[in-house]
Amino acid sequence: MHANLLRVAILRSLTVLAVLTVLGFAASAHAAVVSYVATLSGLNESPPNASPGFGSAVVDVDAVAHTMRVRVTFGGLLGNTTASHIHAPTLVAGTGTAGVATTTPYFAGFPIGVTAGTYDNTLDMTQASSYNAAYITAQGGTVALAEVALEQAIADDKAYLNIHSTVYTGGEIRGFLVLASTPAEASTWGRVRALYR
């Protein structure tokens, strides 16, 4: 009888351990995505300009899946869009200029020839087509090194998203990517609480 109780206790412990392990893997896979945001304006350009243009960007970096989702909304530009990409790294966080890190002259599918628009696309960061060839070369010549360097530049606030136009060829609006503040997901806490019911 004592042996049966011991087996039951061990099985329960193993079951709880298995559930916690699965939740841990799910949490760490979810934690691989880090979101960054940028507020785009002419005042954020270097040098600043008087464009009434505005915009916002959200960039989700997934180091496990090796992807980067880029979402941009913009409007009020004085000129029609000609290019959009991420520049990195600047020498000092939140200021300065840098070469283009991502594909040139613009992200695949980015709205060109307009003064307002939206964009949502996920880049495969294991592909050379997601980068400016000069950036790959400058980072040591491999896509893997370019990916690590770009992720580090973004994490260090040394990368900015820029939208160029026919009026401001060097960039009409831009914004530095900074870590987004995201609250804990209620569903995660709900799953943990359910274990103790």
Domain positions in the chain are: 1-31, 33-194
The CATH architecture one would assign to domain 33-194 is Sandwich (2.60)
What pLDDT sits at residue 106?
96
Q: Which of the residues in the chain have pLDDT under 50? A: 5-11, 13-30, 183-197
Give the β-pairing of 160-165 and 173-176.
Answer: antiparallel
CA atoms within 13 A of residue 5's CA, in its CB half-sphere: 2
Q: How far is residue 5's CA from residue 9's CA, in Å, rounded to a whole number? A: 6
Check: CB of residue 45 under 8 Å from CB of residue 171: yes
What pLDDT sits at residue 182?
64
**What is residue 10's three-state secondary structure?**
helix
Q: Which two tokens stand for residue 29?
A: 């896979």
CA 121 to centroid of chain Cα atoms: 11
Q: Give the contacts of 187 (CB within 8 A, at least 6 positions apart).
A: none
Angle between helices 2-31 and 186-194 (to 10 degrees): 180
The model scores a pTM over 0.85: no
- Burial of 114-139, coded b for 16+ CB within 10 Å and e otherwise, reads ebebebeeebebeeeebbbeebbeeb
What pLDDT sits at residue 1?
53
Average pLDDT, the chain: 85
